[in-house]
Amino acid sequence: MLENLKKEAFEINLAIVRHKLVVLTWGNASALDRSSGIMAIKPSGVAYDTLTWQDMVLVDLEGKVIESKLKPSSDTLTHLEIYKGFAEVSGIVHTHSPWATTWAQAGKSIPALGTTHADHFSGGVPCLPTLTLEQVEEGYEKFTGTTLVEYFVSNRINPSHIPACLLSGHASFVWGKSVSKAFENAVALESCAKMAYHTLMLNPLATFPDHILNKHFRRKHGKDAYYGQGF
C-alpha cells in the first residue's frame, strides 16, 4: 500500500513538470493515505530529472519521517496542516507556475470571469494576506498551512468548491480528493489565471453573472451534476 502511495505521488510530481507548472525544483506534490495517516511527498531539493518513486518520503501527520534517508520537502508542514484542516483532501499540489504566481505576487485574487473558471471553481480563487514577522520566525511552513485553513473557515469558503488559493508574494496551493484530482485542479488554475489576466487587459471592467457561474459549477459538481458519463 505504501509503495503505491509513493508511486502515486511520484507520478504527479513528474506530471507537474511535464505540464510546465514547475521549473527547476519550484514545486511539489503529496498524496495522503487517510486510513493509515501517512503522506508521501517529494524529497527536498532533489532534481526532477533524477527523481525516482523510491525517493518519495513517507511521513506521518505529525511530520515524523517513516522511512527515508532523504529529507521531505521544506513545505511538508504546510501540506500536513491542509490535510488536518480539510478532511476531504487527500492530495496537494504546490507550484510556482507563472500565471498563478503572477497573481500571487501582485497580491490579487483570481476573479471568476467565465464558464471555464466556473467549471472548476465556484468563485474567485482567493489570495491570502502575508504572514506576520512573528509567524514567519515561529514556524513559517506550519503557519502557512494553519492560516490558509483558518482563512477558508473564517470566510466560509468550501475547500471542495474552491480547491485552491494563492499566497501573497509566494505562489499557489491546490488540493483535491486525490493527488490526481489536485493535479487537474492545478492545471485548471494556471489556465484560468492566464485567461483572467488577458481578459482584464482587454476589458478591465469584465464581470461574470453569478447565476451562470453557479450553473456551470453545479453541472460538474455535487448531487445534481450531469456532465460526463457518471449517471
**147-176 residue pLDDT tens:** 999 999 999 999 999 999 999 999 999 999
Inter-axis angle of helices 179-202 and 2-18, nearest 10:
20
Supply the residues annotated as catalytic: 119, 227
Whether 158 contacts 122, CB under 8 Å:
yes
- DSSP string across 152-220: HHHTT--TTTS-EEEETTS-EEEEESSHHHHHHHHHHHHHHHHHHHHHHHH-TT----HHHHHHHHHHH
Taking residues 37-56, report their average pLDDT. 92
Phi, psi values for residue 169, rounded to 5°: 75, 0
Instruction: Select from 55, 84, 221, 75 the least CA-distant residue to 139.
Output: 75
Tell me how long the chain is. Answer: 231
DSSP state of 110: B
| pTM of the model as a whole | 0.92
Domain regions of the chain by residue span: 2-220
Instruction: Write out pLDDT tens, residues 88-144.
Output: 999 999 999 999 999 999 999 999 999 999 999 999 999 999 999 999 999 999 999
CATH level 2 (architecture), domain 2-220: 3-Layer(aba) Sandwich (3.40)
Average pLDDT on 31-50 reads: 92
Residue 231 predicted with pLDDT over 60: no
pLDDT at 224 (0 to 100):
76
